[in-house]
Amino acid sequence: MTLRLPAVLTLAAALLVPATATTTAAAATPGTPAYGNYVALGDSYASGPFIPHQRTDPLGCFRSTRNYASLVAERLGTKLTDVTCGGATTVDMTAPQDVLFGPNPPQLDALTPDTDLVTVTIGGNDIGFSDIILTCAQDSVLDPFGNPCTRRYTAGGTDRLAARIDALAPKVAAVLQGIAQRAPEAHVVVVAYLRILPPSHGCWPVVPISVGDVPYLDATQRKLNGMLGARAGAAGATFVDPYPSSLGRDVCQLPGVKWVEGLVPTAPAFPVHPNAAGMRAVADLVVAAV
């Protein structure tokens, strides 16, 4: 997922390091499975925008050398091909993604018959993550203690965000089918999204989401993660859900505690995205799962 905000290249430049798409990690930790060819797929919750250091292959993907895939590869001692890219949708798994100094090639093109480990985080941009966050933040200005965003997305008795998630399910299934076709021997891990909001109340105005909208948006994220888990199960993939373990680590927590930054980050990370601690937490879960 990627939140659209004004130009951020000055900050990005300070975090850049040259890198190639394929890196070789350190020796594997004793007792871990041996994987030789790991491919990481996904959006900005996998790429790690603004987490130092940022790679330049291409710059517009905002891919960190300390995202969860890089940490997993380091722990497992495997070669990593990281094609994650901020803003990616399910369409970008099979089509080039137009980004700054790009494009980023179709992500599934990185898979080969000898790929033996794949992680994928995808779907947030398909349901309109950026617009949802910005719309709900704008709605909160006039009704901070009500539920204006909930009313907006459920007007007429239809939950439009739930409908978007339902419509996304077959697209995720198609991505997993495409992975299986290109890398039939791979251990595939579907990685869901870290918790963004607390279960209730929130922390308006520090994070400008109306108090009454927090439960609805939290439930929407749980539905998204639940759908990803169901699609993973149907495809025979492993599912890693960092949502439960990130209770008390949401955007409303103090610096050094939170795993996802707010609209005004307090650590190097893109707004409403995982910081370095969040990436480490996800990497721990992935390593334990494989």
Residues annotated as catalytic (active site), given as ranges = 44, 273
Q: How far apart are the first and last CA of the chain?
A: 24
- Give the pair of three-digit tokens for residue 34: 């041996």
Residue with token string 């008390």: 248
Taking the C-alpha atoms of residue 93 and residue 107, their distance in angstroms, rounded to an integer, is 5
Taking the C-alpha atoms of residue 284 and residue 179, their distance in angstroms, rounded to an integer, is 23
The sheet carrying 22-24 orders its strands as: 22-24, 79-82, 37-42, 117-121, 187-191, 238-240
Q: Contact, 261 vs 207, CB < 8 A?
A: no
Q: Contact, 206 vs 252, CB < 8 A?
A: yes
Taking the C-alpha atoms of residue 179 and residue 183, their distance in angstroms, rounded to an integer, is 6
Count, residues in the chain: 290
Q: Contact, 38 vs 76, CB < 8 A?
A: yes
Beta-bridge partners for 239: 190
Taking the C-alpha atoms of residue 98 and residue 124, their distance in angstroms, rounded to an integer, is 18
Taking the C-alpha atoms of residue 141 and residue 258, their distance in angstroms, rounded to an integer, is 24
